[in-house]
Amino acid sequence: MTNLFRKKSKLEKLEEKYTLLMKKSFETSLKDVDKSELIQSQADKIKSEIKRLSLNSHS
């Protein structure tokens, strides 16, 4: 219950956004491959940001 009111970290927000984009990319791929690839590239940028943040936090 204490997690209910806890603010999400930037890393958690990015992970959530990445997951949503990947889901959207998959759903879109069934209809429009080009649009799906565009969404996928956005998700890849977020994934690289997640990696960068997680490496900085472990250093």
Q: Do residues 29 and 39 lie in contact, with contact meaning Cβ atoms separated by under 8 Å?
A: no
* Coil, helix or strand at residue 7: coil
Q: Do residues 28 and 35 lie in contact, with contact meaning Cβ atoms separated by under 8 Å?
A: yes
The boundaries of the domain holding residue 13 are: 8-58
Q: Domains in the chain: how many in total?
A: 1
For residue 17, being part of any structural domain is answered with yes
For residue 1, being part of any structural domain is answered with no
Q: What is the pTM of this model?
A: 0.83
For residue 3, being part of any structural domain is answered with no
- Residue 1 has a pLDDT of 52
What token pair was written down for 43?
A: 């998700």
- Residue 2 has a pLDDT of 62
What token pair was written down for 32?
A: 């429009």
Per-residue pLDDT of the chain (59 residues; tens, 9 = 90+): 566 778 888 999 999 999 999 999 999 999 999 999 999 999 999 999 999 999 887 76
For residue 2, being part of any structural domain is answered with no
